[in-house]
A and B are shown apart, each in its own frame.
Chain A
Amino acid sequence: MIAPERDAISLVATTPTMSPDLIRQVPDGVPAKLLSYQEAIREALREEMRRDPSVFLLGLDIGKHGGAFGVTRTLWEEFGPERVRDTPVSENTIAGAATGAALVGMRPVAEIMFVDFAGLAMDQIATLAAKLRYMTGGQCKVPMVIRMAQGGGGGKSTAAQHSQSLEVWFAHIPGLKVVLPSTPYDAKGLMKAAIRDDNPVIFLEQKALYAFKGLVPDEDYVLPLSRCDVKRRGTDVTVVASGYMVWHAMVAAETLASEGISVEVVDVRTVAPLDEETIGASARKTGRVVVVAEACRDYGPANEWGMVVMERAWDQLKAPVVRVTGLHTPIPLANSIEASVWPKSDSIIAAIRQVVGRLPRGGH
């Protein structure tokens, strides 16, 4: 395993920046607006609430206050306090009431402010909502979404109890779907899909990305769940990543392009159920894979992707899979030590060099 680099390594003259141009998903000429990740999610919520009266929101401070991260701003004004409903600080019952409402035909979108608070709601999420359809032999369905802000970085980290990446908690539970978008375009399209899906969907919003902007088409669109997105095509190495790490992977890819290393970046988008086929196809094509996740090292999501690669690209692998992950630690507050907790593009670059370095000089 490659540990995240502690010193700033600059092996190239310039470092690509994380601008909207780094990840381009809308073809030229398509009418589109530059929206932030936060705005894109709000647009999805607004459009789905206009379209379907059974969609309603509940959570802490989501009404007039607009939500702790401002995602639901203006929705209370448009849809009123019944459909944009502030709740008491009762996370288990926020999730449970969403489940109950979904069982009788509503499409609730509940907010749990930070994924770190999900522990309070895990009974209703993992032991009930995830399993009710199965346990009842298919007599019911639970078409609900639970939105939670996760991760650190981007200057918004508030230490151990407010910065975790916990997608694996949910991904490990059969019956849940888990989404982690990396761009405004993906966030809007996947939120719409999540709301229209008839299953409980955990929609994880990367705090570090709320202000990131990207083009979002004017025309209505919905993206499929359980479909990876190849954000950058390449031939030498596959980098599988999610969320904020996709941006770091794109910076790494852009950097290494000038050295003649062609990097393919596969954005997982839906953590569960996982699109194993796209990951496998990319791994078979390049034969070299780096898996990157912000979540802490042990039993993290990147391990799953590595195993999928082993299973689906066994004969094509030219090097073992290398993982790049957060350090396995509670997250500290001080910038000086927080800086080393999560992977950045330089640690991904180092990992890519490691898998590439396995080939004999001059050949593939």
Chain B
Amino acid sequence: MAIDRVMLLEMYRRMNLIRYFEEAGAALYKRGLVKGTLHTYVGMEASGIGVCMALRKDDLIAGTHRSHGHNIAKGADVKRMMAEILARETGYCKGRGGSMHIAAFETGSLGALGIVASGVPLAVGAALAFKMRGEDRVAVAFTGDAGSNNGAWHEGLNMASIWDLPAVFVLENNHFAISSRIEQMTHIEDLSIRAQSYGIPGIRVDGFDVLAVYEAATTAVARARAGEGPTLLVTESYRFDGHYAGEPQVYRDRSEVEVWRQKDPIPRFRSYLEGQGIATAAELDAIVEEAKQEIDDAVEFAKASPEPDPATTMDNIYA
């Protein structure tokens, strides 16, 4: 499919933004500056970018606990994201949510969610509302491989299927829950066949190939927007970091991770862009430098921001 150059370079830019954001976040975490946990998306950038950049601003995404990448891919401001990670008043959630609940609503994101698969019913409801109001908006729910064993996931796909809801269910198979492998926890190898239980299309795509993900997502989104119903999109991925930043990862060998690192989606996409003559090395370097700088600025902004005032502890419990 033909994608214009501006879009391709923006994809590259955002992939780098995510990568540097995660690395900066992990570094801050290891220095004890991040409250709670941090689940990084390193290695999975192509999956989130391919999906989110196939969406309009007024389409919605519902995330997982590992959704920094989803939010950045959907257009979130990394300053406000970093401030939220560091629990500052200037964060998207005013320091109330942190990494696992980070939500940039203005970009069409319902945010990260700390309960596995809980975004699926939310996306079903949003898609239902869109359909009832005659809007051509689409709702996308992300889960991991582990999330697709949760009851909510199955309930949600079923409900979306019976009503032909404008939804896309993206299953990012990174092969692990925390320490348990998907091979131990499911009886099937190809998770996309779960779509058959719900009579909807199931697509399986290389999650390290941003353009393959983008193409598959575009097809699924178009289907939804045309009123033809939901799709299950499985992106075959792997997380290079542990479940959380700094995890000892006793459940897998470093050598295993190194094999998967060869598939890193960012250098792969870079090779494509240079090889196809879409951009020069200098142009791409400039994009990378700019992304690094933007993240550095975000860290400074976050560090300089105030923490929430205790007088506001009880704000926003009720509307």
- Interface residues of A, Cβ cutoff 8 Å to B: 56, 82-83, 87-88, 90, 92-93, 95-106, 108, 123-124, 127-128, 133-143, 174-175, 177, 198-199, 273
Could you tell me the distance between the alpha carbons of A108 and B121 in the complex, rounded to whole angstroms?
14
Minimum C-beta distance from A282 to chain B (A): 25
For the complex, is B7 an interface residue (Cβ under 8 Å from A)? no
Minimum C-beta distance from B163 to chain A (A): 8
Contact flags B306-319 to A (C-beta < 8 A → 1, else 0): 00000000011111
From A97, which residue of chain B is reached at the shortest CB distance?
B125
B151 surroundings in chain A (CB, below 8 A): 92
Asked if A133 contacts B316 (CB within 8 A), the reply is yes
The interface size of chain B toward A, counting residues with CB under 8 Å, comes to 43
Contact flags B120-155 to A (C-beta < 8 A → 1, else 0): 111111111110110000010000000000011001
Could you tell me the distance between the alpha carbons of A138 and B124 in the complex, rounded to whole angstroms?
22
Interface residue from B97, B101, B132, B152 paired with A82 (Cβ < 8 Å): B132
B260 surroundings in chain A (CB, below 8 A): none
Asked if A100 contacts B128 (CB within 8 A), the reply is yes
Asked if B121 contacts A99 (CB within 8 A), the reply is yes
Asked if B319 contacts A143 (CB within 8 A), the reply is yes
From B116, which residue of chain A is reached at the shortest CB distance?
A123
For the complex, is B91 an interface residue (Cβ under 8 Å from A)? yes
Given A87-B159, A88-B159, verify A102-B121 contact (CB < 8 Å): no
Could you tell me the distance between the alpha carbons of A102 and B97 in the complex, rounded to whole angstroms?
20
Asked if B317 contacts A134 (CB within 8 A), the reply is yes
B223 surroundings in chain A (CB, below 8 A): none
Asked if B110 contacts A88 (CB within 8 A), the reply is no
Asked if B159 contacts A103 (CB within 8 A), the reply is no
Asked if B96 contacts A136 (CB within 8 A), the reply is yes
B162 surroundings in chain A (CB, below 8 A): 88
Could you tell me the distance between the alpha carbons of A199 and B132 in the complex, rounded to whole angstroms?
21
- Interface residues of B, Cβ cutoff 8 Å to A: 60, 62, 91-97, 101, 103, 105, 110-111, 113, 115, 118, 120-130, 132-133, 139, 151-152, 155-156, 158-159, 162, 315-319
Could you tell me the distance between the alpha carbons of A82 and B128 in the complex, rounded to whole angstroms?
10
Given A133-B316, A134-B317, A139-B105, verify A93-B96 contact (CB < 8 Å): no
A123 surroundings in chain B (CB, below 8 A): 115, 118, 152
Could you tell me the distance between the alpha carbons of A20 and B48 in the complex, rounded to whole angstroms?
61
Asked if B152 contacts A93 (CB within 8 A), the reply is yes
Could you tell me the distance between the alpha carbons of A143 and B95 in the complex, rounded to whole angstroms?
23
B91 surroundings in chain A (CB, below 8 A): 137
Given A93-B159, A96-B125, A103-B125, verify A136-B115 contact (CB < 8 Å): no
Could you tell me the distance between the alpha carbons of A241 and B36 in the complex, rounded to whole angstroms?
42
Asked if A199 contacts B319 (CB within 8 A), the reply is yes
Could you tell me the distance between the alpha carbons of A123 and B116 in the complex, rounded to whole angstroms?
10
Interface residue from B122, B125, B155, B319 paired with A90 (Cβ < 8 Å): B155
Asked if A102 contacts B125 (CB within 8 A), the reply is yes
B129 surroundings in chain A (CB, below 8 A): 100-101, 104-106
Asked if A134 contacts B96 (CB within 8 A), the reply is yes
Asked if B125 contacts A98 (CB within 8 A), the reply is yes
A175 surroundings in chain B (CB, below 8 A): 317-318
Given A96-B122, A133-B316, A133-B317, verify A88-B155 contact (CB < 8 Å): yes
B97 surroundings in chain A (CB, below 8 A): 135-137
* 9 A–B pairs (Cβ distance < 8 Å), ordered by A: A90-B159, A93-B155, A97-B159, A103-B126, A104-B126, A105-B129, A124-B121, A124-B152, A174-B317
Asked if B122 contacts A140 (CB within 8 A), the reply is no
A108 surroundings in chain B (CB, below 8 A): 125
B128 surroundings in chain A (CB, below 8 A): 97, 100-101
Given A56-B132, A137-B93, verify A93-B319 contact (CB < 8 Å): no
- Assuming A93-B159, A99-B125, what are 6 further A-B pairs, CB within 8 angstroms? A88-B155, A96-B118, A100-B122, A103-B126, A124-B121, A134-B96
Name the residue among B60, B130, B151, B158 with the largest chain A CB count within 10 angstroms: B151
Asked if B118 contacts A135 (CB within 8 A), the reply is no
Asked if B103 contacts A136 (CB within 8 A), the reply is yes
Name the residue among A82, A134, A141 with the largest chain B CB count within 10 angstroms: A134
Asked if A99 contacts B122 (CB within 8 A), the reply is yes
Could you tell me the distance between the alpha carbons of A100 and B156 in the complex, rounded to whole angstroms?
12
Nearest 5 A/B pairs, CB to CB = A96-B121, A100-B125, A137-B94, A97-B125, A198-B319
Minimum C-beta distance from B78 to chain A (A): 17
Could you tell me the distance between the alpha carbons of A53 and B155 in the complex, rounded to whole angstroms?
26
Could you tell me the distance between the alpha carbons of A138 and B96 in the complex, rounded to whole angstroms?
9
Asked if A92 contacts B105 (CB within 8 A), the reply is no
Asked if A100 contacts B139 (CB within 8 A), the reply is yes
A143 surroundings in chain B (CB, below 8 A): 319
Minimum C-beta distance from B226 to chain A (A): 19
Could you tell me the distance between the alpha carbons of A100 and B122 in the complex, rounded to whole angstroms?
4
Minimum C-beta distance from A99 to chain B (A): 6
Given A100-B124, A127-B115, verify A134-B130 contact (CB < 8 Å): no
Minimum C-beta distance from A30 to chain B (A): 32
Given A56-B132, A136-B96, verify A100-B101 contact (CB < 8 Å): no
A134 surroundings in chain B (CB, below 8 A): 96, 316-317
Interface residue from B132, B158, B315, B318 paired with A106 (Cβ < 8 Å): B132
From A95, which residue of chain B is reached at the shortest CB distance?
B121
Asked if B125 contacts A137 (CB within 8 A), the reply is no
